[in-house]
Amino acid sequence: SACPPTKGGRGLAAPALRQRLGVSKWRPAMYLTQVLADVQKESAPPGALHAEHLFKLNEAVFNLPEEDAVDGKMALKLFQAVEKVRKAYGSGRFDDQDGNFFYDYLALLGTMQNQHFFSQKQTEKLLAWIREALDSWASAAETAAEPGRDTGKKALEAEIEKLRQRLAKYEDEPRGKGKGKSAPALGEAPQALGDAKGKGKGKRQKQDF
């Protein structure tokens, strides 16, 4: 089963957000609206998208209760936000100082593809972007692999195959109804790449989404 994208101490706590918005009753939909506004503002030039933006957006969508319906207008805003992330990732125009952008991008796509408020066409695009991200990750990992190390190459090939099998589960399962919390796990993939690159991932646990 999937786990919420929680990270110790990250994100804006409910009391702080209530004070910021001037409301007495906490509603996750308000947090989602605020996150979208913050991401748009902070990533506007000369700023750039970074992993924290993706994490907060993922968190906001994941934690939406059933009673907070997402209408067509909000669904479009969310899709456009993810589309912006995809373009930034594809062009390399993002801030990746902590090396976590890919991880949060894949986690975000994993959550979004299983949300009932997206159209079939939008969901198909999200699935295509997951495959696109996995393919780019696999290509980069193969390029970074040291020549002549057959053991490492075999392990890499096995990991790539596992990723593709998980993606097939996304594509074969019926569309998620409601929360998308039962999506198969893809979170193991980035961990392998992180180990290969030698980048510490102590701040971020492996995510199932």
Q: What is the pLDDT at residue 123?
A: 95
Q: Count other Cβ atoms within 10 Å, centred on residue 88.
A: 20
Q: What is the pLDDT at residue 151?
A: 58
**pLDDT tens column, 45-100:** 999 999 999 999 999 999 887 777 788 999 999 999 999 999 999 999 999 999 89
Chain mean position to CA 198: 22
Place of tokens 């909000």: 74
Amino acid symbol at 199: K
| 184 DSSP β-pair partners | none
First to last CA, the chain: 8
Q: Which two tokens stand for residue 47?
A: 């700023």
This prediction's pTM: 0.67
